[in-house]
Amino acid sequence: MTPSEERRVRLRDVAERAGVSVGSASQAFGRPELVSEQVRKRVLDAASALGYPGPDPAARRLRLGRAGAIGLIFAERLGYAFTDPAQAPFLRGVASAMEESPNGLLLIPDSRYREEAARTVREAAVDGFIVYSTPQNDPRVEAALARGLPVVTVDQPRGAETPFVGIDDRAGARSAAEHLRGLGHQRVAVLSFVTSLDPHGGLELDLSVERLEGYREGLAGAWDPSLVRACRPNAPEPAREATLELLGEREPPTAILAMTDTLAVGALQAAAELGVSVPAELSVVGFDDSPVAAHTTPPLTTVAQPQEEKGRLAAQWLVEDVERGVGLGAKDRRAILPTELVVRESTAPPAVP
């Protein structure tokens, strides 16, 4: 049935068989109102007789100058994006905004090799990029910027080079720390990605520095740099190990501020293993209010951020910029979305000794 042996069928072949010019054949597909009913039918018949799959997208895209897709650059390896439950809502937001437009969403895989990863970005057939929570100096980000296409950045300000969507990480973190202080905690450990507040520590995410700073401000007098632990990657296991260590010390902390819910989950695991009761003996606060936070044991007190809204807004802005043909995007757009402390059952006043 399908002539799979034949060479690929071109519009030209269809036109020839229908006895019309390529121009008319093209119209028959793209702007039916411009050709007579008769010609249209002849072309369509010829097409189906030849098994013509319709205009080649690559060619039409070249001519039209639009790729019909936007690229999404992630912080992490692509597989990881679907592992961290906190990322799903963001993706959902992006996806739902995309459904309004005729564009596709191209997920750009990372690679072990920096140069390889940048090449993928350079060669991606897209009209713009969303850069999501990606560290400074990431070669993919540089490659994306170099393309001169509209870009919207999420969660990582990098100056004002591009439109930006994010939250006030510092204020969010501060509210978490103040909550613990308010409960009376004096020895509070911090699970972070970094231990230093040096803003130029290299490939860091600003948000980790910002959150750390927020914790420091919120803890004020209770801030103790020696209780800060770096956990990498952002997964339960490193947090579990760090917490085991913290709880094994002579004078263990009475509370833990985890920079993400994922880290908080690790902390809860460690506490459970050691038979340390949460929140009676140890309070734990996360960040993100990811879907798991409500279902941990006990349910997690955490800082909620509007992930889905971030995704939706970023996609919406980007699509607008693409349609308007803006190079690199209207630079003055910035959105700082609100965070909210969600108090569940993982926090309580410290045990009186």
Partner DNA sequence: TCCCTTCGGTGAACCGATTCATTGCGCATA
Partner DNA sequence: TATGCGCAATGAATCGGTTCACCGAAGGGA
Residues that bind DNA (CB under 7 A): 8, 10-12, 19-24, 26-27, 29-31, 34-36, 38-39, 52, 54-56, 58-60, 62-65
Residue 147, binding choice from its own copies, DNA, none, Cβ under 5 to 8 Å by partner class: its own copies
Tell me which of its own copies, DNA, none is bound by residue 241, counting a contact when its beta carbon lies within the kind-specific cut-off of 5 to 8 angstroms. none
Which one of DNA, its own copies, none is in contact with 85 (Cβ closer than 5 to 8 A by kind)?
its own copies
By CB under 8 A, tell whether 330 contacts its own copies: no
In angstroms, give the least distance from the CB of 67 to DNA: 12
The residue (of 58 and 107) whose beta carbon lies closer to DNA is 58
DSSP 352: P
What the block records as the tokens of 238 is 């490193």
Structural Rg of the chain based on CA atoms: 26
- Restricted to residues 42-71, the positions that interact with its own copies (CB under 8 A) are 51, 53-54, 56-62, 65, 67-69, 71
Using the CB atoms, write b or e for 305-344: b if 16+ within 10 Å. Answer: bbbbbbbbbbbbbbbbbbeeebebbeeebebeeebebbeb
Look up residue 162 and give its DSSP letter.
S
Burial class (CB in 10 A: 0-12, 13-18, 19+), 55: middle
Partner in contact with 91, chosen from DNA, its own copies, none, beta carbon below 5 to 8 Å by kind: its own copies
Residue 100 gets which letter from DSSP?
A: T
For residue 294, the one-letter residue type is A
What is the C-alpha separation between 198 and 205, in angstroms, rounded? 12
327 binds its own copies (CB under 8 A): yes
Q: Got the DSSP string for 217-241?
A: HHHGGG--GGGEEE--SSSHHHHHH
Draw the binding track, 94-133, toward its own copies (x: CB under 8 A; -: no contact).
-xx-xx--xxxxxxxxxx----x--xx-xxxxx-------
Residues at the contact surface with its own copies, assessed by CB under 8 A: 2, 4, 51, 53-54, 56-62, 65, 67-69, 71, 77-79, 81-83, 85, 88-89, 91-93, 95-96, 98-99, 102-111, 116, 119-120, 122-126, 146-148, 291-292, 295-296, 327-328
